[in-house]
Structure 1
Amino acid sequence: MTWQVHSVKYAERNARIRADSFLFDEDPTAPHAMDYFMWVLQDGKRTILVDTGYNSAEGARRDRPIRLDPTVALAPLGIRPDMIDTLIVTHLHYDHAGGLHLFPNATLHMQEVEMAYATGPCMCHQAMRHPFTADHICEAIKRLYAGRVVFYDGFGEVAPGVSVHRIGGHSRGLQAVRVETESGPLCLASDAAHYYENAFAGKLFPIVADAEQMLRGFQTIQKLATHPGRLVPGHDPLVRELFPRHDQADWINRLDLGPTQPLPF
């Protein structure tokens, strides 16, 4: 079973510096932009959504406005919110799970340790709970009580050719997604590597629950991808330059065909 894979950009944050992206960086005050994505997997019969982005209300609350509502951003791929029945949640941070309520028919697929982390004693500390929003966690719990959460303990197969792999580091239950495509396995790293530079230069991202897990995770996602060109980081604007763009929707890139030019490192 092979899949087509698209990234869908819904927001950006350009007023950032490298210190926001890398600990112990040699040029910490240099500008360093960030893009925000969801990912779509399609095999001709089935559509799987990976993460949901966040909506304008969350953007206003955090002073991080979005470019497009996630449901509008998905429309050029023929996706209506009520069509999504399988939703992989890589982790519960606001920018990855902030739109759970937009997909009311979806069953969530996530790591069991992520739910425990987001509802446990670590959230007593403001620094740890800052990337989370209580309403998003409550939505995940509502799905749980409705019988629409599938939990994994490390590895899990979501569908033929689609598997999840717990990485941790950035968040306790962060998972990457490995997808079989015609050009080989693709690793959607999500925040296991915000940028290519995190993974390939071994640079820690500043929001970190476990630094050792994050560093080991860089190695794991490279193994899952098997080739640098099939590793897709979670927030790197380079993705928009390396992979072919959708003919009618500039914010969408097709990933399963591979990059159209060599990676610049």
Structure 2
Amino acid sequence: MTQATHLSAQQSKTPGTNRRMWGLDSPKMDIDAAHLVVGAEGTVRIPLPAYLIEHEQGLVLFDTSMNPLVCDDPGLVYEEGRPERDMIIGDPEQRIDRQLATLGYRPEDITHVILSHTHSDHAGGLYLFPQAKFFAGPGELQWQAGHGPSTSHLFNPTDFSDEVKAFDWNSVQAPSQDLFGDGSIIMHHTPGHTPGELSALVRLPSRNIILTGDTVHLREAVEWGEVDPSDWDYDEERASIAKLKQLRDSEDASLWIAHDPRDWEDFGGPLQEIA
């Protein structure tokens, strides 16, 4: 092999990168931290976000936040008696369609949607993107369709209408799947919170970031290796937390915990461009 050929082979193994990424602004929810991590204390105001990733092959959303109507009035989505009516704090400008517009995009510009899992604070905006290609973790959609009464409060039945179910859904292969085949976005199966929970390694020119979905909810979950009381499987969850740590270290990446306001401060806040 000549030196030039050797260098070409080496370069071909270098992972690709995305152009840039934003964490979108979102409604917030006031919640007891003990509901997010066993042993945590106090009330925390958590974001309920989505992320936009710009790649040369398309625009990718990681999660879709809650149904955008909650930003206008939670009562438009949640019936009388549901605690979300009082727990959610939103503003009409935090609707995901308006957040995209702020960046110069329309919902129809989205080409791919990665759904970390099917709970309503992540799946509420799915219906806005019928043209996209959708990715969910192994068994996640089947589990959502058959979940039991003990977790019914985590779902909004209207998120998975017949129209949404008919979208172009694709099941991610465990343990990981490369979205574009260039290493720029790698979806990792990190079950525990739900059977098909996904995280995503996002490579950017300046840094690598792991979007954790609900694999963990607050930093304490990573530090303590502790579960969320509502997790589907505690043993799977602890194994996935260990996987996140290993992935973070091996890829020289930073974790972005979607629901932890401290992480949003560290990454510069909503709509901060990261390139």
Say whether 1:253 aligns with 2:255.
Answer: no
C-alpha displacement of 1:229? 6.2
Q: Which residue, 100, 113, 123 being the options, matches 1:74? A: 100
> 1 CA distance for matches of 2:248 and 2:56?
23
- 8 Å CA contact 2:212–2:256 kept in 1: the answer is yes
> 2 CA distance for matches of 1:75 and 1:17?
33
> 1 CA distance for matches of 2:57 and 2:196?
29
- 8 Å CA contact 2:68–2:124 kept in 1: the answer is no
| TM-score normalised per structure 1 | 0.83
Q: Which residue, 41, 62, 65 being the options, matches 1:50? A: 62
Determine the structure 2 residue equivalent to 1:11.
Answer: 27
Match runs of 1:50-199 below 5 Å = 50-57=62-69, 59-60=74-75, 61=78, 62-63=84-85, 64-67=88-91, 68-120=94-146, 123=147, 125-138=148-161, 139-143=163-167, 148-154=168-174, 155-159=176-180, 160=182, 161-199=184-222
Gaps of 5+ in 2: 1-15, 79-83
- 8 Å CA contact 2:130–2:164 kept in 1: the answer is no
Q: 1:22 is aligned with what amino acid? A: V
- 8 Å CA contact 2:37–2:218 kept in 1: the answer is no
- 8 Å CA contact 2:207–2:253 kept in 1: the answer is no
> 1 CA distance for matches of 2:171 and 2:253?
30
Say whether 1:240 aligns with 2:264.
Answer: yes
Aligned length: 240
Determine the structure 2 residue equivalent to 1:263.
Answer: none
Q: Which runs of 4+ in 1 moved over 6 A?
A: none
C-alpha displacement of 1:117? 0.8
- 8 Å CA contact 2:97–2:107 kept in 1: the answer is yes
What percentage of residue pairs aligned between the two structures are identical? 21
Can you list the C-alpha shifts for 1:148-187, whole angstroms capped at 9, x where unaligned? 1111231211113111111111111110011122234321
- Across the aligned residues of Structure 1 and Structure 2, the Cα RMSD in angstroms comes to 2.0
